Amino acid sequence: MTFYAIDGVTPFLDLNSYVHPTAVIIGDVVILGKCYIGPNAVLRGDFGQIYVEEGSNIQDCCVVHSFPGKQTKLGRNSHIGHSSVIHGCTLEENCLVGIHSTVLDNSYIGANCIIGANSLVPDSFVSPPNKLIFGSPAKIRRDLNPEELSWKCNGTLEYQNLAQRSLDTLATCRPERISKPEGIRLTTKSHARKKEFA
């Protein structure tokens, strides 16, 4: 893990959260319990505060940043997909940001929203709770149904479990070089399934 203090401000990491060794955490960053921060994620609290509530995950190659004096807030059980950019906005609890999406400054996303992959949420965008949002620029498309919200919750639970598995068992190693393994070797008790949105 690479943590940096700036101007005397040190990041806070709850003991029950996992940060991958290649992630970079700078300055005024608060990461509460049961969070997962993936490889090459960057959380820069060098202008404003980055506040990550319990049970959230920020996946590989994401960037979380803010303008000076502003807070970027990720509510409980936030789910930030690979290579997304979250900048100076608020996501209330249980939101999902799909892979390679951008959420820009002063945006407010209400609880239980899903932002589709490759979306651009523009500056000062506001969404009420329980909405499906996607596009570039993103628009509110419709209400989410209970099945879709359950799908999102199951996916987030997978990452909460991954945080604990990583704390318990993730270790550097040397690769197998003698005999090629057959079949899938990693088994987990997964409840997540691919979901199609229309």
Peptide bond into 137 cis (omega under 30): yes
Q: Is 184 a member of any domain?
A: no
Strand, helix or coil at 148?
helix
pLDDT, one tens digit per residue, over 121-151 is: 999 999 999 999 999 999 999 999 999 999 9
Q: Is 41 a member of any domain?
A: yes
Give CA–CA dist 134/42, Å, rounded.
24
As given in the structure block, the two tokens for residue 181 are 């393994």
Q: In 75-191, which residue ranges form alpha helices assigned H by DSSP?
A: 146-169
| Cβ-proximal residues to 24 (8 Å cutoff; 6+ apart), any chain | 2, 4, 41, 42, 43, 44
Residue 197: predicted pLDDT: 64
pLDDT at 111 over 90: yes
Q: Is 132 a member of any domain?
A: yes
**Cβ neighbours of 155 (radius 10 Å):** 19
Residue 183: predicted pLDDT: 82
Q: Is 72 a member of any domain?
A: yes
Q: Is 104 a member of any domain?
A: yes
Total residue length of the chain = 198
Residue 192: predicted pLDDT: 62
In CATH, what number is assigned to the domain containing residue 26? Answer: 2.160.10.10
Mean residue pLDDT of the chain comes to 95
Q: Is 168 a member of any domain?
A: no
- Give the CA count within 13 Å in the CB-facing half-sphere of 103: 36
Asked if 191 contacts 154 with a C-beta cutoff of 8 angstroms, the reply is: yes
Number of domains comprising the chain: 1
pLDDT-above-70 percentage for the chain: 95
Give CA–CA dist 92/167, Å, rounded.
26
Give CA–CA dist 32/56, Å, rounded.
9
β-pair type (131-135, 138-143)? antiparallel
Q: Domain range holding 65?
A: 2-143
**Cβ neighbours of 46 (radius 10 Å):** 17
pLDDT, one tens digit per residue, over 153-195 is: 999 999 999 999 999 999 999 988 878 788 888 877 776 666 6
Q: Is 167 a member of any domain?
A: no
Mean pLDDT confidence for 37-41 = 98
Q: Is 89 a member of any domain?
A: yes
**Cβ neighbours of 131 (radius 10 Å):** 19
Mean pLDDT confidence for 52-74 = 98
Range from 16-20, 37-41, 177-181 carrying the lowest mean pLDDT: 177-181
pLDDT, one tens digit per residue, over 71-90 is: 999 999 999 999 999 999 99
pLDDT at 31 over 70: yes
Residue 184: predicted pLDDT: 82
